Structure 1
């Protein structure tokens, strides 16, 4: 008879608090680092007028060596993944139908059209580079939808015989590198083009790959740009199940996993509906908005800590050329679209 049986308690009842304490002990160092960077970034932003998100990314990158520390790595991953998704979900309470109506139906259709064209372009460019159609769908889809997450999802659907593990790794590294560069450069580019906050937010959401970088770039312009950028980005993410289905049918294979929407996208939609149909106290909305924004700064701080420029460019310049072309192709589409419909 075990000690737990003698005491009348099940092992699960005893281990649950221990698991919680173990989780806290495992993650606290990384969470503390990301939170400290976020607080410092917020302080600098208030006193020097620069975007907190940009400060968070740059300061976080200075602590990249901490990501190789076992006690910090787990907490950093939690902040950059789970806190980011929670912060994005809570943004649903910021967005009203009036905000969305500023875009109109044409830009929303534009998101879908640019997604399709980018995936087609990805295949064409891959073939020109002597690569397979599957690799073109992988790279084009990751650029068109949501970066590394889309790359992993599409790789799960594609038959293994068409892709090597190195192809997936290259795509994840390349699209992350391009997205990080875009987060820094695109806000300046769209400002130089004379776009207002709403238009800049739309362009950021329509062109940058990963959700984290979209949030960082959008809110580095303004709150309005950040809200619109997040909404536009989630439109692209919402199309991921459709893309997975098309890829699966194309290769006559079943999807290797669920093709449902990510939980934070569903939560964002639900909270947006609550915001527009349920009267909520202004104080509560302000508190949740502030909490959401700080969670995003913490997440961007953690993303900065995880960002190693050396590792991003480890595959070499040639390995990034194809993904860079896909990225530029999407950007050119968006600029042409903006010139015709937004300016």
Structure 2
């Protein structure tokens, strides 16, 4: 928003501001309704024929990818893939208690931290070998290690400007979404093949899959226990975003300041919270549930709302997944993210195998 627009909005009457809010809300309706219809179709097929509801929603969404570029449906699809997703994950805290988190143990926390650090280092080493910059290695490694597209956007905000930097960030977002989608499909099969118990299956899925939605989708296909464990592990990974962004910001401080001196600022910087609000919501729900403040009916409603939000969000994420865009971005960035994905999966699987 420009300063003139900001002054105009500030000077507008309450009725005008309310009208503007409603206008923005109406722009979201077509895309949200589309994602909702796909979610309902996935739910119907899952109940009629069996199978994972979330996976059906994802596949049906991919079939309607072209609608994510339509001006009428795009805002609502974007909203469903971000805000509805985060609301669904935040509400998941209503079924988890602090005792369950403590029950994961220090070994799980240490495994997640080690996997995060080594994956970022892997991105630096392999990126250099492929002829990429240090910033590109950190960006891709951080996205794979923490939470996919959200981590990529957060980390890119503290990296210095580079030629083609925006394009590389877009590639990372697309690639980690595709890799995470594939992981959502195949990693539960690996867990079943290895006969992993729910806690170890949750560690494997939550510690390796990039995006929160796909972790939830993969985890709950193996049952509620594995889904809860995977969600807790994943949200612990998300909480590491704060530390990683601060470290990256400090490491690239001089380069970033030099780049800013060379390029005139195009506008006021946008400040984003390092710890996403849905993580705070998740923690608040866990605390309330741990204190016994949530009755069984409230927990049931929260769980149903969470499930509905996640199905809608995954349908939207499916519509945003495009394999054509990925094919036009070259093989080296994709190879880098694929290697990082294999690394973190192999690392966590090795720890799981050693701990059995």
Q: Provide TM-score, normalisation by structure 1.
A: 0.91
How do 1:6-17 residues align onto structure 2 when only pairs under 5 Å count?
11-17=12-18
Unmatched runs of 5 consecutive residues or more in structure 2: 1-10, 258-268
Pick one of 273, 291, 298 that aligns with 2:287.
Answer: 273
Q: What is residue 95 of structure 2 aligned with on the other side?
A: 94
More deviation, 187-196/159-168: 159-168
CA distance in 2 between counterparts of 1:167 and 1:77 reads: 20
Deviations 1:205-234 (CA, angstroms, capped at 9, x unpaired):
100111122122222222222222111111
Deviations 1:246-303 (CA, angstroms, capped at 9, x unpaired):
1122223589745631111111111101110133221111111111111111111111
CA distance in 2 between counterparts of 1:156 and 1:23 reads: 26
How do 1:83-232 residues align onto structure 2 when only pairs under 5 Å count?
83-161=84-162, 164-232=165-233
More deviation, 326-335/225-234: 225-234
Q: What is residue 286 of structure 1 aligned with on the other side?
A: 300
Q: What is residue 246 of structure 1 aligned with on the other side?
A: 247
CA distance in 2 between counterparts of 1:304 and 1:260 reads: 26
CA distance in 2 between counterparts of 1:203 and 1:32 reads: 34
Q: What is residue 260 of structure 1 aligned with on the other side?
A: 274
CA distance in 2 between counterparts of 1:163 and 1:262 reads: 27
Contact 1:37 1:301 in 2 (8 A): yes
Q: Does 1:325 find its partner at 2:339? A: yes
Unmatched runs of 5 consecutive residues or more in structure 1: 1-9
What is the deviation of 1:83?
A: 0.5
Deviations 1:86-127 (CA, angstroms, capped at 9, x unpaired):
111111111123432442221111101110111111111111
SS of the counterpart of 2:73? helix
CA distance in 2 between counterparts of 1:188 and 1:171 reads: 25
Deviations 1:19-59 (CA, angstroms, capped at 9, x unpaired):
24323421111111111111121122222220110000011
SS of the counterpart of 1:160? coil
Q: Does 1:314 find its partner at 2:328? A: yes
Q: What is residue 264 of structure 2 aligned with on the other side?
A: none
CA distance in 1 between counterparts of 2:162 and 2:334 reads: 23
Q: What is residue 4 of structure 2 aligned with on the other side?
A: none
Contact 1:170 1:319 in 2 (8 A): yes
- CA distance 1:313–1:176, shift in 2 (3 Å): farther
Q: Does 1:66 find its partner at 2:67? A: yes
Count of residue pairs the alignment pairs up = 333
Q: What is residue 33 of structure 1 aligned with on the other side?
A: 34
